[in-house]
Chain A
């Protein structure tokens, strides 16, 4: 792998940038691998990368039905934070946060991770009590956080309407300064390049059509490019996990919903942090390119259409304009939807299954992007050792029968 550096940039300038190496190969599938990852999104590619780098498993294939950065990885609002309430979730997201902080260096790829801070606004007394509790829990878990009053919020975001005139006046916020945003496509591409350099085969335009299972053991997958064998298969297919589990005769407690987001026309720099509000329910940041990145809730009903509904867009923009009257005349450029697999307790599933050698990493709902690094890391450890990583163990599928749920609706940030 050619390393990226200022020197390389200067050297390639001399040949008019025509000789850059391709970022990853486009190999033909081998007959067998040690591990197959189904799903070439951020989490799948991160899993493959850490499998090769940290756990020495290099005979790995990532199978992707579309192209890299064509699914949910490129359909989110790029927010990264770790201010979760419960110990299990906080530990997992904070693990991810620590990996984010060194990711660009680790991958030799600029993922544009920007720790511009995240505000979670409170508009009611109960909001403020929940915020107080969550920030206290965060600090006990070694995660940075502060409770701000309305004046403190106004100081950080002068354009936010913190007046008493608002329909839902801002009473305060939780503030995580280490949180921020990362360039989502770059995360997928950086992991793909890193994994490829370590020998991982990334098979794009390859679709899993069935799972090969005999005597309760996984033997491989059927694809539209022939059968591929592997004793360990990790499924990381977000909105399609239920479909894939169905191929193995497994039922998951998931429901797939469209989650949509939208971006405005580009503006000059005006918002240098991330503002989220559960109460009026919208979240917003400004990309380095200048457009406002606005997140919405999920559609109330199950759906696999990657578009989302108009009422949700309207509801979200009402919330944004309520918070930022200054944006009322900004035009929206485009809108998109991704399919998220929501869990009853708003937490992911990282789990073994009744089929030996078959693992699932799914159910991230609306908050998967921020976990890309940590999810990949602990899932890789679990696949390499055949046992769930201690940080992943509380997210086993058994919890829906034992009742040991990690109920994170509050900190998940999006009502679902």
Chain B
């Protein structure tokens, strides 16, 4: 059972008050009319599915009914932070893997250490 800190209610509440609504920070294309099928399909259907740190959109559905974000580890299930809409996460995959400063390095790191196929 998760206990989740709602950044709007500013209280810890039980998991069952909340609903996960998928990946956070997904930008709707600014000009849908000029989108290619690839861009539109990517926006609609393709999501990050990391084994590790994930930024998610949740809603406090039986509480304040507001959407907010959670940074969570998908293997340990540890909730690393919750933050309001419009704010940026302070914990990211890069920030917990200090050796992997660039995106490339983080992919390489994932291959050697995190990946369990």
Whether A400 pairs with B77 at a CB distance below 8 angstroms is no
Residues of chain A with a CB closer than 8 A to B46's CB: 251-253, 400
Given A65-B117, A209-B112, A210-B111: A311 and B16 interface contact (C-beta under 8 Å)? yes
A301 to B19, CA, bound (A): 8
Q: Does A256 contact B (CB under 8 A)?
A: yes
* Residue of B20, B72, B77 with most partner-chain A CB within 10 A: B77
Task: Count residues of B near A (Cβ-Cβ below 8 Å).
Answer: 32
A305 to B77, CA, bound (A): 8
Whether A401 pairs with B75 at a CB distance below 8 angstroms is no
* Residue of A207, A208, A256, A401 with most partner-chain B CB within 10 A: A401
Q: Does B15 contact A (CB under 8 A)?
A: yes
Whether B116 pairs with A207 at a CB distance below 8 angstroms is yes
| Chain A, Cβ-Cβ closest to B76 | A305
Q: Does B98 contact A (CB under 8 A)?
A: no
Question: Which of B1, B38, B72, B117 lies in contact with A309, CB distance below 8 A?
Answer: B1
Whether A401 pairs with B74 at a CB distance below 8 angstroms is no
Whether A243 pairs with B1 at a CB distance below 8 angstroms is no
Question: Which of A208, A341, A400 lies in contact with B41, CB distance below 8 A?
Answer: A400
Q: Does B60 contact A (CB under 8 A)?
A: no
Shortest beta-carbon distance from B54 to chain A in Å: 6
Shortest beta-carbon distance from A140 to chain B in Å: 29
| Chain A, Cβ-Cβ closest to B70 | A301
A209 to B75, CA, bound (A): 18
Which A198-242 residues have a C-beta within 8 angstroms of B? 207-210, 237, 240, 242
Whether A240 pairs with B116 at a CB distance below 8 angstroms is yes
Residues of chain B with a CB closer than 8 A to A301's CB: 20, 56, 72
A251 to B49, CA, bound (A): 9
Whether A303 pairs with B111 at a CB distance below 8 angstroms is no
Q: Does B110 contact A (CB under 8 A)?
A: yes
| Chain B, Cβ-Cβ closest to A253 | B45
Q: Does B30 contact A (CB under 8 A)?
A: no
Whether B111 pairs with A247 at a CB distance below 8 angstroms is yes
